[in-house]
Amino acid sequence: MDLIVEGVSHRYGEVQALDDINLRVADGETLALIGPSGCGKSTLLSIMGGILAPSEGRVAAEGAAPDGCLNPFTYIFQDFALLPWRTVAGNVGLPLEHHRFDGDGRARRIAEALSLTGLGEFADAYPKQLSGGMRQRVGIARAIAVRPALLLLDEPLSALDAQTRELLMEDLIRIWARERTTSVYVTHNLNEAVRLADRVAVLSRRPGRIKEIVSVPVPLDERTERRHADLIETIREQLWRLIVDEAKDADRELESVA
């Protein structure tokens, strides 16, 4: 399913957060959104997911949803949002409970999601027994259990340590290789953007506008190979040059407010 964003602008009172955003995320593509703090990345993601109505413009989806899709738009958040009194399997199965399944269809879905995220042996554990990385895997498993047409990720790895981020990036790459879910990934981390995205949209400082869209022409599963190291670093440096001046301005603005 393609995601289309046409002429989207948004205001919070007198504050213009986004201005004339135009994007198309192709079926099966992962688009990363980066930019300086306060540029409207999370606002744009909320508009894409239908949580927030834009002040102007529209968001539309084109094409068929995947087989077995129960929820067209699904989020993965930074804070995991797990229910502590439910087991891992119980958390993953939560969005399935209001859907009708034949026989053991719900149990199969849960088992598949747990297997895909490496959680099969932790089905009966509770969130308090898991590390941060494992809790985020539960959040990912819960999202993919509904087989979404569009996956929206709002800085899902930012609360994790560097080693755990690397492991979870590998998990996401493996999941996307199998599921090919259309995805939009908000991050401050340029390494994550270059590692995970097919294209990276760079937003300007508020009001957020599209400064440039940069392609990453290396297959996802080859981006850590030495033969691509120079190209990957060149793309990362290109992204940094696009945001560095405005990132410095945003940092000084945040400091003055504090």
Of all residues in the chain, what percent carry a pLDDT higher than 70?
96
Structure confidence at residue 253 as a pLDDT band (50, 70, 90): low
Structure confidence at residue 252 as a pLDDT band (50, 70, 90): low
pLDDT at 244 over 50: yes
Among candidate residues 119, 148, 177, the one where a domain is terminated: 148
pLDDT digits (tens, 9 = 90+) for 105-158: 889 999 999 999 999 999 999 999 999 999 999 999 999 999 999 999 999 888
Range of the domain at 184: 23-65+149-258
Distance of alpha carbon 201 from alpha carbon 221, whole angstroms: 21
Q: What total of structural domains would you count in the chain?
A: 2
pLDDT at 194 over 90: yes
**Residues 163 and 256 placed together within one structural domain of the fold:** yes
- Is 207 in contact with 161 (CB distance < 8 Å)? no
**Residues 142 and 162 placed together within one structural domain of the fold:** no
Average pLDDT over every residue of 153-167: 89
